[in-house]
Chains A and B, each alone.
Chain A
Amino acid sequence: MKRALAISRHELVSLRREKLPQVLLMVFILMVSVSGLIGWLTNTTVSSVWTEATQTGLTQAPNPFENVSPLYYSRNTVIYLVLIGALMAIVVGVTSTMRDRKARTIDLVLSRPISVVEYLLGKTIGVAIFLAAALVATGLISWVSISFIVGKPLGFQDTARLMGFFGIALIFLMAFVLLGMISGVYASRETTALLIPISLWSITAFVLPQIGTSANPVSLLNPVPKVSVPGGAFDALNTILGPLSVTEQFKGASGWLLSNPEATGDFTTSIFVVVIAASLGMLTLLLTRRDRIRGALND
């Protein structure tokens, strides 16, 4: 375990010096900071539209955002996790396992008394700590900005829900980190290592949900879920493919945790899928053979 922790420590130092993960992290934190403001602006505008429509006698329907939970303002954070967070996680994962192969220091590591499992576990722990720190920072920013918008600190229940949301976000991101790490181990070129998981991410985020709900790609970037078309082959497809779309399951679980009235799907199933995805990734990674990690790059 000591050796694994030494690898973790080294991983953290290296990640702090790599530009690409840092830049993506900055973009992510910036967008999360802004998402609360965007949510507030939109909520205010919708309420004003409703007020205008009511006063001019155009509608008698209730305000759709009356009594909405303060956690509503974190809706966009879910999308930024799916977009920027997942891409950042992939980049961090690929960078992590590629580093020693590129620098050809892998032989210096593996010629020491450390097993492949310790080596990879150490890297995973290091990356998990990096992401956890990032999520703690974004969680704090979210808590402060929501409290500021609603005019008072968030209550215990809402705070617990927010923490739960960022907890599941960490598992979600780790699933993509592990995908990136696996790619970094098996790919023969750096560009391939990066693009294969990005392609898989786009299948998960866009293609699978489209087949399951007929939603177009851009609409999947909206935190408001598309109205699914009932009947026909879509119901059957959605049943089969739904669980495979980790991003949609994460959105579903997040919706429940953030008290979103439009949350779809079953909470337990959603959490289960996200956890299974991360676990499968971890298992696959730890089964990597020694000679595979030492594979030379063709770049």
Chain B
Amino acid sequence: MTNSLIIAQKELLDLRRNKFLIAVLSFVLIAVVISVVVSATQYGVKLDAYNMYVQSLKSAGNSTVPPSPQLYPLQLLRGSIEYMEILGALFAIVMGYGIVAKEKQRATIQLLFSRPIGRFAVPAGKLIAIAVAWFVAVTIIFLSVTLCVAFVGNASFNAIDYQRLVIAAFTTWLYLIMWSALALGLASWTTRLGTALIIALVIWLTVVLIIPQIGDTMDPDNQVPGGLFKSLSIAKPDELAVLAQFSGFDTARNGLEVSSVTKHFERFTFAFLGIKDKFNQQPLGIVWAGVWNNALSVWFAAFGAVGFALLITTRKKLLRRT
């Protein structure tokens, strides 16, 4: 274990000084902050439009006051979560791949293995470093967006909101570790580093972009701007009744979506942050009952990727000539 910690310590020192990685993570931070600012501004635009509408009603002598648009602060984090889901995953791959690639390219791996270290010292050390690095990054990101929501969105949080944020942050951390561990394992496994990058990028494309995109575009309600059922003036209860006639199609569509761990991550975090209307303002227990299977999927995927990295990263594989 000591050697793992020594290796982890060295990796963290190296990562801290990696200007490019810092730039990339800063870029993710800026993107998520921008998304919160945009969402908060959008709410402000809606509110202004609403106030003007109420004013015009009053001027016309109409005393009816329509319900005002509600601000649920955590819903402003939708874009941020989507950025972590897409870009966070990509940069997690970069980190995981790079942490092995640089050793292989520079042959420092020979200096490592000419020392008396145990079988799991190298993969465990690198995974510990990745876990710590993402913990720091996710903490900074979530703190930043929370502050953003508070100031730009002029919103206040209660205790349960903080709990939701912690749950979402923890799941994001696991999700990013999963991608880094996968890339680390691939970089150790393949003889040529380029092959590892190819496989990692194709998996990212498929799991993060293509499968969710297909699932999304197969959703009938997404085929018309503003929603199909809204354009047909069909209310929600009737919408569900109609869709029940197409359960086969929806099952196939949903089946495709749940083959992507990204979709599980999205559904879980959206549920706890109240972005999904069905779970908005619901007690944590009820939310958990609705999405525990998504949580399990993310956890299994994360532990699976870590296990893969630990098992596949061996002395023989890393010292193999490229």
* A residues lining the B interface (CB < 8 Å): 19-20, 23-24, 27, 31, 34, 38, 41-43, 45-46, 48-50, 52-53, 56, 58-59, 61, 64-65, 76, 79, 83-84, 87, 189, 191-192, 195, 198-199, 202-203, 206-207, 210-211, 214, 216-218, 221-227, 229-234, 262, 299
Q: Closest Cβ of chain A: how far from B101's Cβ, in Å?
A: 7
Q: Which residue of B lies closest to A234 (CB)?
A: B45
Contacts A53-B242, A229-B46 given; does A207 touch B31 at CB 8 Å: yes
Whether A41 contacts B210 by the Cβ 8 Å rule is: no
Whether A216 contacts B82 by the Cβ 8 Å rule is: yes
How far is it, in angstroms, between the C-alpha of A43 and the C-alpha of B243 when the chains are bound? 15
Q: Which residue of B lies closest to A223 (CB)?
A: B217
* A195 touches which of B20, B49, B205, B206 (Cβ 8 Å): B20
Q: Closest Cβ of chain B: how far from A206's Cβ, in Å?
A: 7
Whether A231 contacts B49 by the Cβ 8 Å rule is: yes
How far is it, in angstroms, between the C-alpha of A299 and the C-alpha of B193 when the chains are bound? 13
How far is it, in angstroms, between the C-alpha of A45 and the C-alpha of B101 when the chains are bound? 47
Whether B195 contacts A19 by the Cβ 8 Å rule is: yes
Question: How many chain-B residues does the 8 Å CB contact rule pick out?
Answer: 62
* B residues lining the A interface (CB < 8 Å): 20, 24, 27, 31, 34-35, 38-39, 41-42, 44-46, 48-49, 78-79, 82-83, 85-87, 90, 94, 97-98, 101, 105, 194-195, 197-198, 201-202, 205-206, 209-210, 212-214, 216-218, 220, 222-226, 228, 231-234, 238, 242-243, 245-246, 249, 266
Total number of residue pairs linking A and B with CB closer than 8 Å = 166
Q: Name the B residues within 8 Å of A65 (CB-CB).
A: 223
Q: Which residue of A lies closest to B197 (CB)?
A: A20
Q: Name the A residues within 8 Å of B245 (CB-CB).
A: 52
Q: Closest Cβ of chain B: how far from A229's Cβ, in Å?
A: 5
A-B contact pairs, 10 of them (CB 8 A): A24-B202, A49-B242, A52-B245, A52-B246, A76-B213, A191-B94, A203-B31, A217-B86, A218-B216, A224-B222
Q: Closest Cβ of chain B: how far from A24's Cβ, in Å?
A: 7
